[in-house]
A = this chain, B = another copy of it.
């Protein structure tokens, strides 16, 4: 299948190379320890999905400029900051197959590095005089932390319904993806309708991405890096496949399954997975993700055809089909 990230990146291949250079330079610090850690972060660069999105969303209207690059650096810096903090809060000792920052340098340094990366990212927007970028990005950081906190609050009581689920994934995941697309688009046009359409594309892409992520927690695909199958159930996270399956059964059965989840035994996790599969949870979530993916694609209708637009359409399918 030709729908690979490398094919999708083709329209902005040169710009992504440039991005890596600019990103590396933006991370330089006079404090040797900061420099050491940022060099470590650069070595294990991720898939750069967010800069990719910023650039394709900019390219759809013409040529990528300095402002597009600034947006890409900003979101990648912010994303990196949240990953560093995430590893602290989850006590993770691995990230992308490498030891995490907190595993090597301890929590104290990891929390401070996250704060440093966050403020450094915001400074780039400030230095560029991009007030609009700042407005969008601070709102995004707020939504991301609120979404995570809502999830924790609700998870404790195992009482997440479908509406709450969508509120949580919209804030914690889709907000940043939507921001990537909005910043990218706004970097090459002033057309408010187009900018709005691109944000909506991104928010929907983000929802589809997270639903797919939650589906993968139930499906038996070995992940090279990342969390093992059933990790969400172990963490008592109620995701769409489980929520739907619970909605379809009697109250007594719901109680039995929630007890299994609270029980925290390994064999319980398998039973919960079987329950979700037997009650159509995965089909339902896949269908929802497909519908949301279609909404994302439909938002692109107002843009003229281009290789960037084609890549954004293909990216939706890539997200829906990914097994990693």
Contact = CB atoms under 8 A, between A and B. Distances in A.
A116 B150 CA distance: 12
Contact of A146 (B34, B141, B148): B34
A85 interface: yes
Given A145-B119, A146-B31, A150-B31, A112 B89 contact: yes
A108 B155 CA distance: 13
Contacts of A134: 122, 126, 131, 134
B123 A153 contact: no
B153 A141 contact: no
A318 B166 CA distance: 53
Interface in A118-160: 118-120, 122-123, 126, 129, 131, 134-135, 138-139, 141-142, 144-146, 148-150, 152-153
A163 to B, nearest CB: 14
A115 interface: yes
Interface residues of A, number: 42
Contact of A149 (B89, B113, B142): B113
A29 interface: yes
A32 interface: yes
A120 B145 CA distance: 10
A313 interface: no
A88 interface: yes
B109 A85 contact: no
A170 to B, nearest CB: 13
A107 interface: yes
A104 interface: no
21 contacts: A30-B146, A85-B115, A88-B88, A88-B107, A89-B107, A89-B108, A108-B152, A109-B149, A109-B152, A111-B111, A112-B145, A114-B115, A115-B118, A115-B145, A116-B142, A116-B146, A119-B145, A120-B142, A122-B134, A126-B135, A131-B134
Nearest 10 pairs of A and B residues by beta carbon: A119-B141, A89-B108, A33-B153, A116-B145, A119-B142, A122-B138, A115-B145, A123-B138, A126-B135, A112-B145
Given A31-B150, A33-B153, A113-B149, 11 more contacts: A32-B153, A85-B112, A88-B88, A109-B149, A112-B148, A115-B144, A118-B118, A123-B138, A126-B131, A126-B138, A134-B134
